[in-house]
Amino acid sequence: MARLLLIDVASSVAVLALWYLVFSSYNRKKGAAVLRWVQSACDGKGRITESRWLGSSHLQARLYFPSHWFENARVSVRFRPRALPVQWIISCWHRQKETLTFEADLGGSPAFHLEVVRHRWSARNRGSISATSTEREWDIYQPAPIILTTRSHWKQDASAELNALMSSRRQDILQVRFHPESPQFSATVHLQTLSDPSTASGFVSALREIAAGASAHRQ
């Protein structure tokens, strides 16, 4: 009985080890592809200087840009934890997406804290069907930003940053942060959006436009 139990334990360990090796390798191959997407997105205006793995599902890479662009720039890529079965199942259950976060300093500390989360469009079905089409008609609305602030009086300090974010909606940016401390600027996107070359090519430009709003505000 003890011998059978020992065989079962050894088999389970071997299966888990094989699982870890296979899916760690998968994430690393995908990570190499992501680095190529990032390099392509830089469009010759920046380059990857080094990269490292912080676990089987977390890749980090440092970027170099001209001094008038970003300082201390880096990207942090979060993959699904495929190499760890329990965490992978939980990730799938919660429908967690793989993301890329760009972080950098702006050459001057912003005088405010700002966090913008999930920019979306909304639509309302009018419930009617036109005579020339079998599809329902929709009214499309562009909602105004909803701002939560700890100030008793809002002075619209971040209007330039919000306008830049609104104009970059096609980049599917999930979150943008400005902080006086380093990293002073960060932006998060779904990883899959960078797999499209046309979208990836405008990613860095979109980040530059948003960051430029903070630079203009400091001036």
pLDDT tens for each residue of 49-102:
999 999 899 999 999 987 677 889 999 999 999 988 888 899 989 888 899 999
Mean pLDDT of 147-157: 61
Residue 85 is predicted with a pLDDT of 87
Cβ distance 46 to 73 under 8 Å?
Answer: yes
Does residue 147 belong to any structural domain of this protein? no
**Displacement of CA 184 from its chain's centroid (Å):** 16
CB atoms within 10 A of CB 174: 18
Answer whether residue 132 is part of any domain. no
In this structure, is residue 143 part of a structural domain? Answer: no
**Would you state the pLDDT for residue 139?**
66
Chain position carrying tokens 């919660």 = 94
Q: What phi and psi values does residue 75 have, to the nearest 5 degrees? A: -120, 145
Residues in Cβ contact with 21 at an 8 Å cutoff, skipping those fewer than 6 apart:
none
Question: Residue 39 falls within a domain, yes or no?
Answer: yes
The per-residue pLDDT for 61 is 95
Q: pLDDT band at residue 126, thresholds of 50, 70 and 90?
A: low
Tell whether 142 is covered by a domain: no
pLDDT score for 133: 54
In tens, the pLDDT along 153-205 reads 655 555 555 555 555 544 567 888 888 888 888 888 888 888 777 677 677 77
| Average pLDDT taken over every residue of the chain | 77
Parent domain of 93: 2-120+158-218
pLDDT at 187: 87
Residue 153 lies in a domain: no
Domain assignment of residue 129, yes or no: no
User: What pLDDT shows up at residue 203?
Assistant: 77
Looking at the 3D structure of the chain, how many domains does it have? 1
Is residue 81 helix, strand or coil?
coil
